[in-house]
Amino acid sequence: MVDDMPAGEQVVLLCNCYGAQTALRVMYHHESKVAGLVVIEPFFWQFATYQLWGVWMSAFVAWLAKYKKYLGLQRKKLGTVDYAYVEQQPLFIQPLFDLKHQRSEHYFAKIHDIATFRLPLRVETPTLFIFSPKGWMRDPAKHEKLKQIFVHSTLVELGADTHNIVTISRLEIAKAIREWLARL
């Protein structure tokens, strides 16, 4: 998509959760074509307190999931996820719901990618971060670290009492994005 853009045109990348890593990779390779970045409820493993053991554990579980596939033991039918129901559950339950609609080898490969991804030291691209008050990145210290890396960032919190971006009002999110884009 970005490769096919005419010279001089720019886009604003919109992503959430794991998609933040993909957007940063796109931005790294096409920095001149990215005017801004909107990140909704990101999760960056390097801010977690369980970094090192998580990397090793995710690699091991990803290997087990691939081995299970090799043995032909993967599920044939995947379920659907009701994320409105997930909102009512404790935050640590969400991965179980995510696994319901993904193959384990894909899910755990993604988890390992999340665990080993490192943010760049500095991002100049204007960035809007949208957080829910009970999400993974709710800690103000993590917000300060993000501001140090994303030097032209705006951080907003939406959706009182939520921890899942799906349950935050789309109107709230759209309004925050429109207001930010107007200042861009």
pTM: 0.72
Nearest 5°: the CA angle 90, 96, 98 is 105
Mean pLDDT of the chain: 78
Alpha helices in 18-169 (DSSP H): 19-29, 51-70, 83-86, 94-100, 104-116, 140-149
For domain 11-44+120-183, the CATH architecture is 3-Layer(aba) Sandwich (3.40)
Nearest Cα residue to 173 out of 131, 121, 110: 131
pLDDT digits (tens, 9 = 90+) for 82-94: 656 666 666 555 6
**Residue ranges of the chain assigned to CATH 3.40.50.1820:** 11-44+120-183
* pLDDT band of 149, cuts 50, 70, 90: very high
101 Cβ contact list (under 8 Å, min separation 6):
78, 79, 80, 81
Burial (CB < 10 A; 0-12, 13-18, 19+), residue 160, is exposed
**SS3 category, 149:** helix
Nearest Cα residue to 37 out of 155, 160, 166: 155
Number of residues written out for the chain: 184
pLDDT digits (tens, 9 = 90+) for 88-119: 666 555 666 666 666 666 677 777 777 778 89
Contact 126, 152 (CB under 8 A): yes
Q: Which residue has the higher pLDDT, 94 or 43?
A: 43
In the predicted structure, residue 120 carries a pLDDT above the cut 60:
yes
